[in-house]
Amino acid sequence: MARTLRWSTEDTKLASCLAGLGFPVATSIIEHSRSNKVITQWLIGDRSPWHPHLTRSALLKMWRDPRPKENLETQDPLHPFLQGLRAQHNYDCLLDAQNHGRRLRLVGTPGSYASLYTDGDELPTIKAAKLVIEISDLSLAAALGTLGIPVIEIKGTPGFHSYVLPARAHWLKAWPSGNMIQYDAASIAQRAMPGQIHLALEKTDPSHPLVAAYQARHAHNVLKRHLGQAHRQILVTAPGTQRCAIIGENAVSRVQERVENHLEGG
């Protein structure tokens, strides 16, 4: 499959957002034999079977468009790709808060259709909320943060953390109506079945912005696990030349030595 995936990126978060949309993804891990530097590339297809009208090239072009009125943030502010990127950002922020005590608050994105964590203190009225939910899934907490629902307390010890969130918090705009909405955390965070990772929304409202955000985080976890199981390839180079060869990481040392000697003209 990798031969048909012509576009690549070293950005695992970007790759996971595309994987969450159904774009086919493969990985290439190459280690330089002399420097031991490891380069991980994600090879990504141009079409998703889940979204046949959407191409990866057109999506990224629209996302990167410098014209404010033409870019994805303006044209579709709750696009699943953007929601995935926001969830990745929020996850990193919450991890920093959990491990290093970083103080965070949610702020609206341009147009106030979604939200992101930034440095600061959350509104006192939200921090003092009486009606709360408590979850143990940091990825879900990060996804809820894209919809104006912040983590107001982190409990527990490493490996056994839980996250307290207000049932309702910031007001945002619904897309495309522009009507103000306050998301209900207890309702949208429900699992399809107790003990399952899937959200009930995946069946009842698969286009809900929480679904896209959470799927991107799930895809990121899957890709990271895949990295731990993937085989590396070794890039062998001849000093002072551009001659090189790639061999499998399981090749015995004498094979690597022969390749190096061949490249050096030995």
Distances (CA, A) of 141 to 10, 95, 126, 184: 26, 11, 16, 13
Query: Strand 25-32 and strand 233-237: pairing?
Result: parallel
- The pLDDT of residue 32 is 66
Are residues 46 and 124 located together in one domain of the fold? yes
Q: How far is CA 48 from the centre of its chain?
A: 17
Are residues 250 and 223 located together in one domain of the fold? no
DSSP codes joined into one string, 98-152: HHH---EEEEEPTTSSSEEEEES---HHHHT-SSEEEES-HHHHHHHGGGT----
Q: At residue 263, does pLDDT exceed 70? A: no
* Separation of alpha carbons 94 and 248, rounded Å: 38
- pLDDT tens for 109-131 read 999 999 999 999 999 999 999 99
Are residues 156 and 249 located together in one domain of the fold? no
- pLDDT tens for 201-237 read 999 999 999 999 999 999 999 898 877 765 555 444 4
Are residues 131 and 201 located together in one domain of the fold? yes
Please compute the mean of the pLDDT values over residues 4-21 and round it to a whole number: 88
- The pLDDT of residue 43 is 87
Are residues 243 and 163 located together in one domain of the fold? no
- The pLDDT of residue 92 is 98
- The pLDDT of residue 181 is 97
Are residues 63 and 122 located together in one domain of the fold? yes
DSSP codes joined into one string, 27-50: EEEEEETTT--EEEEEEE-SEETT
Q: Which domain holds residue 13?
A: 2-229
Are residues 156 and 37 located together in one domain of the fold? yes
- pLDDT tens for 64-105 read 999 988 899 999 999 999 999 999 999 999 999 999 999 999
- The pLDDT of residue 33 is 57
Are residues 143 and 248 located together in one domain of the fold? no
Instruction: Note whether 138 and 155 are within 8 A (CB).
Output: no
Take residue 15 and report the two structure tokens written for it.
């790759």
* Separation of alpha carbons 94 and 91, rounded Å: 5
- pLDDT tens for 16-71 read 999 999 999 888 877 665 666 777 888 899 999 888 888 999 999 999 999 988 89
Edge-to-edge, what's the strand order for the sheet holding 162-166? Answer: 132-135, 162-166, 153-155
- pLDDT tens for 161-210 read 999 999 999 999 999 999 999 999 999 999 988 777 889 999 999 999 99
Question: By percentage, how much of the chain surpasses pLDDT 90?
Answer: 64
Are residues 241 and 119 located together in one domain of the fold? no
Considering only residues 247 and 176, tell me which one the structure prediction assigns the higher pLDDT.
176
Are residues 123 and 154 located together in one domain of the fold? yes
Are residues 163 and 259 located together in one domain of the fold? no
Are residues 188 and 223 located together in one domain of the fold? yes
Considering only residues 88 and 244, tell me which one the structure prediction assigns the higher pLDDT.
88
Q: Which helix (H) or strand (E) segment is 256 a member of?
A: helix 253-263
If one counts the domains in the chain, the total is 2
Phi, psi of 77 (to 5 degrees): -65, -15
